[in-house]
Amino acid sequence: MLKDEFKKEEQLRRQLDEYKVDIPVKLAHHRKRNRWEHFLAYLASPAKDPLTDGISSAGGLIKFTFMPVAGAVCIAIFQALLL
């Protein structure tokens, strides 16, 4: 048995034994989540704010402020070229 390798490692064994896992009660019966439940769980799961990285970096706030203006200018130029 590979576990025998731990016989000499009393300290490590003791620490590994500290790692207990609580089994969720919901698991006691086999029940498959349907696609709708998966989708709801996906929507409800917390996610990283996509703007945080941009704002926290140097000049990020300025970029976010001027990006809509630059976008509007580009669209205006594109429309002017079409006319």
Which among 26-34, 57-65, 69-77 is the span making contact with other proteins, rule CB under 8 A? 26-34
Residue 43 in the binding site for other proteins (CB under 8 A):
no
Residue 81 in the binding site for other proteins (CB under 8 A):
no
- Cβ proximity to other proteins: between 33 and 63 the closer is 33
User: Using alpha carbons only, how large is the chain's radius of gyration in Å?
Assistant: 27
Question: What's the CA gap between 16 and 5, in Å, rounded?
Answer: 13
Structure-block tokens of residue 77: 């130029």
The string of DSSP codes covering 30-45 is -----HHHHHHHHHHS
Binding site for other proteins (CB under 8 A): 1-3, 5-6, 9, 11-12, 15-16, 18-19, 21, 23-24, 26-28, 30-33, 38, 41, 45-50
